[in-house]
Structure 1
């Protein structure tokens, strides 16, 4: 890349402004009740324009990812970029920062966008709700469009939900009752994902599946941006799986075009970028710079970050092998370096730093387990608040008071601690890849990975993206870590602490054990889930995301 006065020179000559032919959009999914309120002609025309302008650049960025993974796999460790040093060294520039309703983000709740979970989130008492159309949503056609309907209704104060009646009880009605509801920050799917129920024609005349990112973002923005502004907030987004400043620039151009297209003031959109990939950790400052007119902060997406580390270093030898998933905590060297750098980088540029997920689900039948979990959550949030984070994530409403207490103790009446600059932090590139933990792989840890991955994938195939497993609310990131660890342990010829080699045959035995232990019901997808797990954990090749093949070949609506 060639540095310029404004940042990084684009690698493509595709225009982002000016007249451009409309790309034909075709909806191939079934049109159920109220779908026409989301898939309106004007909304589809907007999706058409987004794809005409940005689909080609999306493919360019995905090709960049492949090249970068190839380089790392062949021994070229990532470094802080020399061609963008001028951005990091310029002390003057600052980002847009918090938009209305985002000034205080000390506790954010995450969850999918089905009606019941939407209502629970809005009644939770959190400051922000991450309305997740990505890892916590199985991207069935029903979930994609009906999630948009949930958000459409919630923003207009007209959302309600009645649970199905049973033989012994009538359906229960749910409504939003909170006087103050969380600010909504919607997370669209990542750049790598497609929407197979919507097709577009590219410039070469080929019919292609639409971008999941542009579909999720485009429908939400088109229908809700103006109403959100009228409500005193704005159209806000969490951006997942970003790997480079160029990907951030692509999003910024999408935002700029969208604001101009709908006649909204430039900079109205606010984004928070999840730093959940290893390459992005080396470009945090550049990502902030490229989104500087539209960005509010960065988030430490801890689980996907661990997955990204394994994915990039899976073939680089035994020194890059991690132990049991449960042992890879936020205090191990590479995770500590990454979060310290994130806080320092954000505050240097006037951005918020948002901490990672606490996924525990209270077990009301076992108060002792719940109490122990609350202690762990409290300790985790105390560390984050003490490190300078401005807020954090939880997956269950009962964790909000626990997390809020730790941030209240540090923040007091202040809405954030962006003014805390952390000049004492000095993170080197080598520290971001220091995965030495010195703990063994246990047989129970291997089994836990196989069990959790298969149970999650099975639920995902049935349309559930956020799944309660072993007192934790799991999403796709947990399954990705689990299967990638198994793949790496096999290919690096690892053994458990009792000397048992981790081989394909050994894992096959664990798959059989899992299938024998789960409760089988009519219509379950455990056999398909086991097949998918074999494909992504036991094969010679390493699929970049398990959801890609599972979505294309197994997910039905």
Structure 2
């Protein structure tokens, strides 16, 4: 889906759904969810309506600017640092500061806003839990509303969960991790809430509701309303968020900089504007994060028309490849120069039940985290509590007992990182096994997503939307540029369709006929076929996926 089509979603009508809540201009739609009236009480709705009135109209404009930049790149221009913002990059300035409970982020765990997940994540041996409304959540209306309820209960400290099948009870430990909420990206709308007849930005709703219901309790606990901002592509988008934060702080009589955010640098355009993003958000920002899976996806998407930038198998694109290493080191240098933390990327592995296999998993995690810690990152991500101890031990060794981060590592001895390094082509094989694995991963992930699950264990990895995006865009890229596999087979639409049919049968054999027939694998395969053989790259699989997800909401 193009940026123009994304922008048009804001004017899409949903007159077939009956409104549950009306203000003069804000309409809340969809099936009534238990607890919804508390989430959308008068104060929350008032804040959300005011934010939409002041800021929602700018989002389609920002998406249109993405489209215009992409058109220039498609026509041969390569991304580069902006000449008009050189003074910011060369200037002597720093961010406002970092709250005490965010100075130590050596291990963070991420996951969706499911009730059990929230409890387990907050109880894990980590410093921070990133509760995710974005890539690891399939945003059905029920999950979005229940997610806000779950986070409110977590902040209040009284969240509990009893497993229906076993009766096992879950509750918070006395000293849980710091909570950060990741909101949806600017490209995602919330179809169930309209302002002036238009679906509102999903991230604006996620932000408004989490802030409104939790800021007082968080501040009383010497914490604060903390957010992760995903998918930024320019400092102008960062400026939009800065205006949102400043408006809310003033509205609620809070000191400037009370709201804190971490921005994911997970798009190729954003890596060229990291200084500028920090500058625009300097009152509120505390860190940048290497969202490396989405970054690989963005590399493919941004350079999709450049035949000399085609990536090999996903497994060959590791953090020691030149363009990813340059990205990591530049992020560290930029952040530390401005007093911001530099967070590392995700270890998506899942602990294995077999002891020998698990030892291999943990060694892969060690290798990955040692590279990040050695480079100077202040912390890292894990997807499973079982990896927390391994990651924590490594960052403890590098940070030491008398520090909470590695802000002292400036990387000033590094040579300046030029645009060419950030765009360096990655060598490696395109294998038939790799292509077939991509298909199986994408089918299984999309099937789970359209059924409401955005965080899925597949083949020993905890997959979210980012890895599924890499899987399907890699094949699209190979088709578009007429690439051959290492065995000589030309990658065509017909070859992909043949493999898709074969791998769909293989998935059925792996999971069993009963599970296959009870699921939506055929629908998932249809969607994968549609977006992989399209001549124009669909920007995000979650956009057509969202239409399927919300059909019954």
- Partner residue of 1:529 out of 524, 527, 536: 524
Q: Which residue of 1 aligns with 2:15?
A: none
8 A Cα contact 1:97 1:297, kept in partner: no
Aligned match of 1:479: 468
Are the counterparts in 1 of residues 140 and 549 from structure 2 also a CA contact under 8 Å? Answer: no
Q: Structure 1 CA distance, aligned partners of 2:548 and 2:392?
A: 42
The alignment status of 1:98 with 2:95, answered yes or no, reads no
SS where residue 84 of structure 1 aligns? helix
Match of 1:547 among 511, 532, 542: 542
**In the alignment, does 2:187 pair up with 1:192?**
yes
1:272 and 1:120 map into 2 onto residues whose CA distance is 22
Structure 2 distance, partners of 1:29, 1:164, is: 26
Aligned equivalent of 1:280, options 252, 270, 279: 270
The 5 A counterparts of 1:96-495 are 96-165=96-165, 170-176=166-172, 178-201=173-196, 207-317=197-307, 319-364=308-353, 366-413=354-401, 414-425=403-414, 426-437=416-427, 439-495=428-484
Count of equivalent residues: 522
Distance apart, 1:554 and its partner CA = 4.5
Counterpart contact for 1:198–1:209, Cα < 8 Å: yes
Taking the aligned partners of 2:137 and 2:128, their CA distance within structure 1 comes to 18
Check whether the contact 2:110–2:381 (CA below 8 A) recurs between aligned residues.
yes
- Displacement, 1:59? 1.4
Q: 1:554 to 1:143 in 2, by over 3 A?
A: closer
CA contact (8 A) 2:452 2:549 kept: no
Cα pair 2:124 2:385 within 8 Å, conserved: yes
SS at match of 2:227: strand
Contact 1:274–1:301 under 8 Å retained in 2: yes
Over aligned residues, Cα RMSD in angstroms?
1.2
Cα deviation 1:248-299 (Å, max 9, x = unaligned): 0100100001111122211011110000000000000000000000000100
**Residue 34 (structure 1) aligned with residue 23 (structure 2):** no
Q: Deviations over 1:111-170 (max 9, x none)?
A: 0111000011011121000111100100001110101111000000111111223xxxx4
Ranges in structure 1 where 5+ consecutive residues have no aligned partner = 1-21, 202-206
Q: What is the alpha-carbon distance in structure 2 between the residues aligned to residue 258 and residue 536 of structure 1?
A: 39
Greater helix fraction, Structure 1 or Structure 2: 2
1 CA distance for matches of 2:461 and 2:163? 23
Task: Say whether the 8 Å CA contact 1:23–1:52 is kept in structure 2.
Answer: no
Q: Secondary structure at the match of 1:101?
A: helix
Flag as ranges the 4+ runs of structure 1 deviating above 3 A.
553-557
In 1, are the aligned partners of 2:161 and 2:170 still within 8 Å (CA)? yes
- Secondary structure of the corresponding residue to residue 345 of structure 2: strand
Distance 2:104 2:220 in 1: 20
Instruction: Calculate the TM-score normalised by the size of structure 1.
Output: 0.92
Alignment partner for residue 503 of structure 2, among 502, 511, 514?
514
